[in-house]
Each structure stands twice: as structure tokens, then as C-alpha cells.
Structure 1
Amino acid sequence: MASGGVHHTLSATSPEPTSIPNGVNGTTSHYQLGDFSIDEYRPIKVVCIGAGFSGVAAGIRFPQRVPNVNLTIYDKNPGVGGAWYLNKYPGLACDIPSHCYQYTFEENTDWSAFFAPGPEIRAYLERVVDKYKVDKYLKLQHELVGAYWDDAKLHWRLRLKRPSANSTPENPQYEEIADTADVLFTSLGSLGRWNWPDIEGLESFKGRVLHSAQWDVTDGHWEEGVRDWGEKKVGVIGVGSSAIQIVPALQPKVKQVVNFVRGRTWLATPFSGEKMADLLKRDPNAENYKFSEEDRKRFKEDPDFYRQFRHELESDLNSVHGSTLRGSKQQQSARQAFKENMLKRLAKKPWIADHIIPEFAVACRRLTPGPGYLEALCEDNVAFETKQIKQVTPTGIEMEDGRHYDLDVIVCATGFDTSYKYPFPFVGRDGVTLQDKFTPHPRTYMGMCVDGFPNWFQSLGPNSGVGSGSLLVIIERQLDYAIHATLKLQRERLKAIEVKKEAVDDFDEYLEAYFPKTVYSEKCRSWYKMGKEEGRVVGLWPGSCLHAVRALAHPRWEDFNYELADPVKNRFHWLGDGQTYNEKTVTGDHAWYLSPEEVDIPPIPKD
């Protein structure tokens, strides 16, 4: 950030450039000083795509840290939240502790449950938007349909689609607009483009077909939409995190639920860090602890207690990385504990255990606690079907063995397109497309940059997720990295920053060496591997959450190539005319380095 809070553009009169005698050999240099001060930063235009956790944080941090920034945040949805706006299915909830699913800088003391429901998470984001006035940067219902690097002008050209003035819900109409960006920061994610199952006859079904990511919501809550489903028979296809939440939510609301499952999955034991359990005096075996009024009151009124609670919770969450390493003692212990817990919860229908408890390691697939799922499978109105589906008929689902389930509703909890190949042109230098770059699998630098695509940074791109730990701290660190790069462009009067191909190659080599020692490389179908049983792990960071936080803390500028904004070869041209803006204009603080924000007072050693 600019020292002394300078946010000015060129405006003051500077000395005329002159030729200066060289003190070494008496010759004359023809280099001319810049007519700007060292902290007189040029305007820079940043466009962010996506208004989920990454985009909202961008709406806070870019204006806070980057002087003279012009920021726009586009999102295709009518509201903020990203995946938390898109997904509104029954039982939607956080699958890590809620207090670990919030910004480091914005505490929420009012979560209702250990695993908070989805609407609370979206409401949290909406409050953050209001508090930090992010809405002034937002342009909702604007969908990116094309991104093109302009090598002549060294900026991004963007095409966006939005509803036209005469568009109505009954007759939607769209228009296309254009924009440009000096820096493009995208948070397109991997869980925004859903997959329909490849099952013959799905389009012939005469009942209602829903996808978990395209759930119809009435009056803002799914329960309103299913209040007349009491006599309906519902089929739920899948055993991923969405299906595991949908089945127990629908079970008491409908006549019958049939869960069609082709794979196996581990269900985590209740999260019960000892210190955290002691702090709350709660039952360590509770699957989804509901915070009492007394709990929330103490969180709000005793900040020290709350921060201790949150710190212990996140510390425990970050302590399980060892279980993701093949053959580790933590993996063996987790496998034994999870199996015992699942067998206990399936006591009423023990035969299900033979079809759902995996042979592969714990965490090979995305791990979820699944409160109430196994118990719901044991209810009389729930059928657990593991045979192969033959086809969907007009009245239900027919199995390969000839049995037929009559259904009124089919819910496809069948996941997302996790290839990171976006359904629109994304074009870098020399016409190279991102689709080409990401074939056969995505290749990036630290999950954020791609060679041939200057001035572009991603949040939650390939190899950005974590198998354990807080995803929110990763989002914040990736955003910090993009801001550091933007500041470097601005401070050093650069026009383009592009990661070197050899740096991408080296990171790719690191990935290839890391993942074989982890459980993620075992044979299991997972979105970590683009929905395949075996193959390249593209969804996860190659290490622990804490490892990622350290790795992203200090950009390696030597891994990038640069192009100058000014047609001057001297690498110190950014030093300008030898003064700061405040000195030149005789304004502002001339001793800003003594302000409390600038002074770093060292601790006094105790011995």
C-alpha cells in the first residue's frame, strides 16, 4: 500500500528533464527522469469475476490496499454467495465447523449450529457486503461469456451477458456488453457447473426432475417447496456430500426416499476436539451440536473466550493432515474409528455397511460428517439401492435386474464439472485457449496463474482446495497474492506480469511427486480427480492447509516475466523525479513512517 495513504494521479508540475553530467567519466547521460513522484501511482483497473467468498473479500481488500484502483465485481447470479447462492437444496449445510468457515477478519458469534445451514452462510456474506460497502462494486446478473488477452494494449477484453431492459421471468432476454481489465481476478470455482447423470430415459420421466444445484425454492426456503410432498416417493441419485445432506432432510417429509448409490464413502466421526469440547461443556458425541442462547451470548460478550474457542477449533481442524498420508498412524486410527462409528449408526440395518463402507482410505473422497444420514437410511421409509440403474421410465427408475421403483420426484445429486474447462472462450497470448492449456489436465503455477495468460489470477482454481483445514484462509491468501502482484504492477510502472512456463513445469513436477504418497492417489471416484477413479489430482493443494498458507505468503517474483508500462529501458524509471507526492505538492504527512500503522515495535527479550 502507498506510504502515507497516497491515492493521487499525476497532476503537479515537475522539473523539466535535463541531461546530467556523469560523475564517473564526464560523459552525458541522455536518460530522462520520469515526470512523476515515486508514490504517484497510475490508475489501475481490476475486474473480479464471482461474488462468493473470494469476490466479496476482493471487494474489501483491493480498495483497502491498492491506491487509485477502479474495481468492478461481476456475478451471474442475482445475489452474492456464489455456490451458497446457487445451492438451496434440502439439508444444505457447512461440512466443516461453522466457526472455521468465516473470514479471519470478520467474526460471527451467532452461528446456530456446529455445521451451520446454508442460508446462514449466505446471510453472513450479505452482512459482510453491507458492513464493508462492497455493493458499490457489484454488478449482479452479469455473466462472463468471453475473456481475451489483448497483446497490443496489454489488458483483458471481456464480454458479459446480462438481462436486457425488456427481459421478464416469463420471457428472458439478454444483451451483451464489453469491458476491459488491467488485472483480472477470477473466482469461477469448480462447483458452479452441475452434471446431469448419463442415464437413459431421464428426459422421459413424467414426474419432477431436480438437480441438487438447481433446486426450486419457494418463499426463500426449501421446506416451503416440499410441504405438499407428504405422499410423494422421491429418488435421490448419489452418495456425495449433497445426497448425504438431502436424504435425512427429506426422510421425515415424504412417503418414501430411495437412495440410488453406485459407490462407497466414509462418514466422519463427530468433530470433538478435546479442548473445544471442554470449553463448551458439550457432549463430544453430538453429531451437530446446536449452540444454545447461553453459548452465543458468551461468544458475543466475552471476546477473549470466543477467540480462544475459535482458535482451538481451527487448530484442531488443522491437526489432521497426517491422516491424508498413506500408511500413517493417523490414517489407520481414523479408518478404525470411522468404521466403528458407521457400524454403530447402521445397527438397525447392518447389511448397508457391506455396501457403503469403503476399501479405500479415509479422505480419498471428499470427507463429510453427514449428520443424520446413516440414521435416515435405517428408517422404514428409506430404501438403499446399490444395484445398477438400467433406465429412467416415465413413472420411475428401472434397475438392471428388472425391478422398478415408482417415483414422483427424481433428485440428481450427481456433482459438478470439475475439469476447470469453462464453457466460454478464455484466450491468452497468441490465441492459446485455456481449454487447450488444461488438456489433458489443468497445469498452473501455485493454483493461481497460467503461462500465456498475463495479469490473471485465480481463487480456488486447480489444486487450490484442501483435504483438511480451513478453505477460507486459502481464499484470503490467494487474494493477498493477487493484490501483491497488482501493487507491483502499479508501484514499478509495469504493464504485464506473466508466470514463466518453466515455473509452471516445476510446480507440475512437484504435484506429480507429492500426491502418490497420499491417500488421494488411491482408487476411488472423486471430484479431486475430475470425477475419475484414478488419475491426476487437480482439486487439491499438494500439502496441508498450513503448508499452503506459508507457501502463498511471499511471492517469488523471479518466477515471472514483466513488460514495462513506459517505453523506457532503465529499470529504475519507476523511481520518478526523486521525491514523494506529499513533498512535491507540499501536502499530507511528511513523517508517515512514524504513524502507529507503520512503526513495528519489537518485543523486549525476557532473558
Structure 2
Amino acid sequence: MSSGVLHTLSAAAPEPTTSTAGINGAAPTGYKLGEFCIDEYRPIKVVCIGAGFSGIAAGIRFPQKVPNVNLTIYDKNPGVGGAWYLNKYPGLACDIPSHCYQYTFEENTNWSAFYAPGPEIRAYLERVADKYKVHKYLKLSHELTGAYWDERKSHWRLTLRRLSPNSTPENPQYEDIEDTADVLFSSLGALGRWKWPDIPGLSEFKGRVLHSAQWDVTDGHWEEGVRDWGDKKVGVIGVGSSAIQIVPALQPKVKQVVNFVRGKTWLATPFSGEKMAELLKRDAGAANYKFSDEDKKRFKEDPEFYRKFRHELESDLNSVHGATLRGSAQQQGAREAFKENMMKKLAKKPWIAEHIIPDFAVACRRLTPGPGYLESLCEDNVTFETNEIKRVTPTGIEMTDGRHYELDVIVCATGFDTSFKYPFPFVGRGGVTLHEKFTPHPRTYMGMCVDGFPNWFQSLGPNSGVGSGSLLVIIERQLEYCVQATLKMQRERLKVVEVKKEAVDDFDEYLEAYFPKTVYSEKCRSWYKMGKEEGRVVGLWPGSCLHAVRALAHPRWEDFDYELADPVKNRFYWLGDGQTYNEKTMTGDRAWYLSPEEVDIPPIPKD
């Protein structure tokens, strides 16, 4: 029957009557259709905690993809950026190529250097947030103080602390507020809660004590804050990625730097540096190549070249996973190349090599290129101290052998609490806390979900980091997973989505089987293992970056339990009244499946 005839008939047809008989004369079941269209989506409230890379992307993707969404993004800081807002220490920079440290959908052709400085990364995030109007969803200076699953209402109850309207800079005052969420997406991360070293006397030091994650900034930049440090003696405690950036940044600006080091670490040759040099036809020896105006102009005016440049860099970055496998040829090659490079840079003070070049494998602890660090250790005003600290005195640091360093400033580049045990109550079903769930170590489903904690997804949770490759694509895929789960809840009228315990158990078993074959399980102190030398690897995905991207692409809905939002047991109640909203209201597009976004045109085979 043609559509024209159907329109004619439907105009004259009487209203249908409700039959008392079922299909083929069977007895009726009493089931009633829902009085809504299949795509008449109910409102859903999403709350995101954190406004770093994850939170800003959430402010873009949830409104883009989830209809009728009520979105709020809370962050404890006064500005966006997450770790890039919090950290302002000297030398702060990206430790993978800048062009691999950006959203897949938002290119930046204007990075100043191969490893861009921290303020540029923060500025990039601010621009993205402005461009996509994320600020309408943001509530800054709001710190999460508790998350509680409400069994009766099937939603999250959140408590937060914020500055009160009567607060002033001289007299800050706070107030507590509450909110609720149908879906909670958190991006609290592992590197946001800094840790002070446990050294006797630290609080009694009469000079200035700073932590790398709590650096005082004057006029928006660290250089202004150290402008008058020319006669200062500065002690830097640590040899992690922050200390490796701080020491060369301070060295030319102060009278003396003493780097107190107890561990060892590998310093990498520039990641993808040779590939960058090949593509730009530039010197491959530059530790941190500065892009010229000519380079940036070409990136901007030749999109095809820039896409190739970015693609090739990222492809190269994703080609080193083999080095993380014990006994691999790539691992051996990396050890030889890195050792040779480190020895070369330490030529003026070769004795340092035996105290810093590790016996453990490359990448056992977080790997960083550290441009300028080894060279700075060889400068006359830098002391590399490997003996144990006994205590901090009012005027400096005393070593166990009795020597004493007179200091004006002590910088603690001593890392973060990487246990994923947050300093506030996070309570799931039956009053079970996340702290209990994560003892003795975190157990999750693919780094994102925890059984007993419904409607909660996280970005950069336990086992989400990567030892090689770009972290940004992982963030985007974890967010997309949460968006898909939210759409499923809305589409199928579900009030609860909760990962099954057996799915968490199986992923945990996979982790236990995977990591022993990698270098991460060797003996070295690393935040990958919650700051321990040995034990469970909780910081990294069990596989390569590309492996994670594939694994997260298609949610396994069979790994979850569900509860319906309506008091109707029929699993197809969400089908509604048999029509779409556009048909019911005779508005909108009623052939949307023909739009360019929907039509999937197959390629024509060549043979």
C-alpha cells in the first residue's frame, strides 16, 4: 500500500478499539503500553567531579550525545585544568610530545616546544572549555566531601564544600551544600593529592618549605616568584618526574641547588624525537625542540601536513610497548641506548652515573625524558647528594653521616598518595566504603567501575594509566564508555546499572596474570605500585595503549546488572507506545536515517 493511500485511509479511519482478547484469541495479560514514545527520553542528571582533561571532555560529550541531560561539573580549584591548574612548579612541562597530548577532536598547531610548558597546556584547556561553552556546567571552588549511594532513591547523594557568599580573601568562610546524581562520573585521578615526606624536623625549618604540587606563584608564573632567589640555597628532595624538571629550571636562577636523591631512575632519549626531526627535517639532537614560527605557520596553513605530522608522532609513540615486556629485544635496546645517553650527559661528573643509572628495567618506574636534568647536575652550583637524610634542622638538612647543608628553601618533590583511597567518605551499597573495597589494593572493572557502587564510572581510576602511548585517548574512551552507559539507562528506562562482582573478579584475575610478564613487576619504587618497591601494579592498564582503546570500544553489557526505573516488569516497556516523538507530534526530521551522519556508505571493492 502506498503512503498516499495510507494517509487517505488514516484520515478517515475510526479510532482503534481495545480488544479484550490477546493475540490469536489468547487471554489478555493485563500489560499496558507505556504512554510515551520510544525516543521521548526521560531527564537524567549527571554530575562530574573534576574539571581537568576528563571533566572538560565530559562538558562537551554529555550535552552533545545525551538528550535531556542535566549536567554539573564540580571542581575544588578556582579554575579549570585539574593537575595542570594545581601544579605550577618551576620547569613544569609535558613529558610526552605536545602534539600527542591533546584531544583527538581539538588540534593545537601552536605548541611552542616538543615538550610544552605547563602554562601552555592549561591555556589549551581553557581555550577548549571556552570554545565548547563548558563553563555553563561548571561550579568551581566546590570540593567533594562525601558521596553516598541512596538505596531507596537509587541515586548518589553528594556533599560539597564551597566558599560562602560572605567570604573574603582575608577571612575565608565555607559552607556545606548537597546535590544528587543519577549518574556519577569522577575524574579524581591518582596525582592530585600530594604527599609530604616523613622526615623529622620538617615543620621546624625556619626557611621556606614548598611542595612541587603546592608551589606559590606570583603574578601567574613561577619565574616571578623566584626572581629574587639569586642568593638562595635550595634543596630539592626527590628524583621523580617533578624533581627532574625542577632542578634544571632552578639551577641558573639560584646560588646553589642540592638534589637529595635516594633512588635511581632512567632518563629517556626524547620520545619520538627522531620521528619529529624526520618529518620536519630538523636536528634530531635537540633535547626539547622549540618550534619555529615557520613550523607553526606550516602546521596551521597545511592541515594535511599537520594531520600527517600528528599521526606519525602518535604512531611512533604507540610503537614502543614491546619495551615494557621482560626480556624483549626492545627492552634491551632501550637500556643500552638510555645508558649511553645518560653517560654522555654526565661526562663532567661521571661518578653520578653509578648512583642514578638503575639496575632495574627501563619503564619499571615512570619514564621521563627530563631534558636538561643530567646536564644541570654537572653544573658547579649543583650538588647531587645520595646519602640518607637524618633530619631537617631550623637552618637546613642534616645527613646521617653528620654533614649539614645550610639552606634557604626546601622543595619536596616527593610525589602523591597513589592508593586511590580518597580523603572523604565514598559509600556504596550496604554502607560499604570504597576504602574497604580498595584494601589491600583497588579492584575494579576495567579501571572504571566497582561492584556495589552503582551508576558510578571513573576516568583515570586504578589500572587506567599507560606506560607508553597517549593518556588522552584513554580518557576519551573511558568517558565515551560512561556516555554509552548513560544513554542505555535513558533509552531503556533503567534506574540502576551496576557491574557484576564476578566481572570484577575476572578482570582482577587478568591483571594478576598479565603484569608478571612485564617490567613493571620488577623491584623498583614506583607510584604504579602505590609507592612501593614490590607488590600489586595498580596504576597501569594491563596492556598497551592501543590494547586499551580496543578493549574500551564496545561495552560488554552482559557484565552488568540492571534495575528498571518503572514499576513494570516487562523488559520491553521502554518500547513505549509504538511510535517516535517526531511522528507523534509531526515535528522534526522523520527521515533522519538518511542524513549524512547516519548513512554508512560502504567502499567499493577494487577487485
Q: TM-score range by the shorter chain?
A: over 0.9
Structure 2 matches for 1:155-554, cutoff 5 A?
Answer: 155-272=155-272, 274-554=274-554
Structure 2 matches for 1:30-41, cutoff 5 A?
Answer: 30-41=30-41
Deviations for 1:46-76, whole angstroms, at most 9, x for unmatched residues?
Answer: 0000000000000000000000000000000
> In 2, Cα distance between the equivalents of 1:182 and 1:270?
44
Give the conservation status (yes or no) of the 8 Å contact 2:97–2:272: no
| SS of alignment partner, residue 332 of structure 1 | helix
Deviations for 1:219-245, whole angstroms, at most 9, x for unmatched residues?
Answer: 000000000000000000000000000
> In 1, Cα distance between the equivalents of 2:507 and 2:92?
35
What TM-score, normalized to structure 2?
0.97
Give the conservation status (yes or no) of the 8 Å contact 2:189–2:459: yes
> In 2, Cα distance between the equivalents of 1:331 and 1:360?
11
- Residue 113 (structure 2) aligns with: 113
Do the aligned partners of residues 20 and 363 (structure 1) sit closer, same or farther apart at CA in structure 2, a change above 3 Å counting? farther
Give the conservation status (yes or no) of the 8 Å contact 1:189–1:461: yes
Letter in structure 2 aligned against 1:515: F
> In 1, Cα distance between the equivalents of 2:41 and 2:272?
50
Shift of 1:562: 0.2
- Residue 46 (structure 1) aligns with: 46
How many residues get paired?
593
Shift of 1:170: 2.3
- Residue 83 (structure 1) aligns with: 83
Do the aligned partners of residues 233 and 264 (structure 1) sit closer, same or farther apart at CA in structure 2, a change above 3 Å counting? same
Work out the percentage of aligned pairs sharing the same amino acid: 87
Give the conservation status (yes or no) of the 8 Å contact 1:80–1:126: yes
| SS of alignment partner, residue 447 of structure 2 | coil
> In 1, Cα distance between the equivalents of 2:292 and 2:253?
26
Give the conservation status (yes or no) of the 8 Å contact 2:272–2:317: no
Using the TM superposition, name which of 414-423 and 17-26 deviates more: 17-26
Do the aligned partners of residues 39 and 258 (structure 1) sit closer, same or farther apart at CA in structure 2, a change above 3 Å counting? same
Deviations for 1:382-409, whole angstroms, at most 9, x for unmatched residues?
Answer: 0000000000000000000000000000
Shift of 1:285: 1.5
Give the conservation status (yes or no) of the 8 Å contact 1:19–1:29: no
Letter in structure 1 aligned against 2:488: K
Shift of 1:272: 4.0
> In 1, Cα distance between the equivalents of 2:544 and 2:18?
55
CA RMSD in angstroms, aligned pairs only: 1.1
| SS of alignment partner, residue 179 of structure 1 | strand
Structure 2 matches for 1:552-563, cutoff 5 A?
Answer: 552-563=552-563
Letter in structure 1 aligned against 2:388: Q
Deviations for 1:494-519, whole angstroms, at most 9, x for unmatched residues?
Answer: 00000000000000000000000000
Using the TM superposition, name which of 262-271 and 325-334 deviates more: 262-271
> In 2, Cα distance between the equivalents of 1:400 and 1:28?
87
Shift of 1:277: 1.9
Do the aligned partners of residues 275 and 365 (structure 1) sit closer, same or farther apart at CA in structure 2, a change above 3 Å counting? closer
- Structure 1 gaps, min length 5: 1-14
Shift of 1:21: 2.4
> In 2, Cα distance between the equivalents of 1:18 and 1:381?
92
- Residue 132 (structure 1) aligns with: 132
- Structure 2 gaps, min length 5: 1-14
Shift of 1:586: 1.0
> In 2, Cα distance between the equivalents of 1:442 and 1:271?
30
Deviations for 1:270-311, whole angstroms, at most 9, x for unmatched residues?
Answer: 234544322211111211000000000000000000000000
Shift of 1:166: 1.6
| SS of alignment partner, residue 175 of structure 2 | strand
Deviations for 1:520-559, whole angstroms, at most 9, x for unmatched residues?
Answer: 0000000000000000000000000000000000000000
Do the aligned partners of residues 439 and 172 (structure 1) sit closer, same or farther apart at CA in structure 2, a change above 3 Å counting? same
Give the conservation status (yes or no) of the 8 Å contact 1:270–1:284: no
Letter in structure 2 aligned against 1:403: R
Give the conservation status (yes or no) of the 8 Å contact 1:451–1:499: yes
| SS of alignment partner, residue 314 of structure 1 | helix
> In 1, Cα distance between the equivalents of 2:336 and 2:153?
59
Give the conservation status (yes or no) of the 8 Å contact 2:48–2:58: yes
- Residue 11 (structure 1) aligns with: none
Letter in structure 2 aligned against 1:140: L
Shift of 1:589: 1.0
> In 1, Cα distance between the equivalents of 2:493 and 2:271?
50
Shift of 1:168: 1.9
> In 2, Cα distance between the equivalents of 1:562 and 1:497?
5
| SS of alignment partner, residue 337 of structure 2 | helix
